[in-house]
Amino acid sequence: MLIQKPLEKNDIVSIKLLTGEEVIAQYEEETDAHLQVTRASIVAANPEGGLGLVPWMMSSAPESIRINKDTIVTYSTTVEAIANKFIEATTNIKIAK
């Protein structure tokens, strides 16, 4: 059995919602009822046929978003390669390779 370490503030997480959306975000904290994240984004196709990240909520740009846990199917840390791309896309930080 694999034992996962608990999520820590600033971890990059992937969240699968009941709607089928997969949200990638930076973890802040959680309660029994909510998951608090920042920079929530979704993967979308770009005009060149590749993939990119776009804000999850296009009409609003809150610094922090609370997602009701009743709407979440599952969530966990994002795989490193995608987490690194998320960091590069949402900050001015370039990950050394």
List the chain pLDDT tens, one digit each, 97 residues.
Answer: 566 788 999 999 999 999 999 999 999 999 999 999 999 999 888 888 888 888 898 887 778 999 999 999 999 999 999 999 999 988 888 877 6
**How many other CB atoms sit within 10 Å of the CB of residue 27?**
20
CA distance 90 to 26: 10
Instruction: Specify the residue for token string 């009743």.
Output: 70
What's the confidence (pLDDT) of residue 4? 73
**Sequence ranges of the domains in the chain:** 12-63+77-90
58 φ, ψ (degrees, to nearest 5): -70, -35
What's the confidence (pLDDT) of residue 2? 63
What's the confidence (pLDDT) of residue 3? 67
CB 29 within 8 A of CB 9: yes
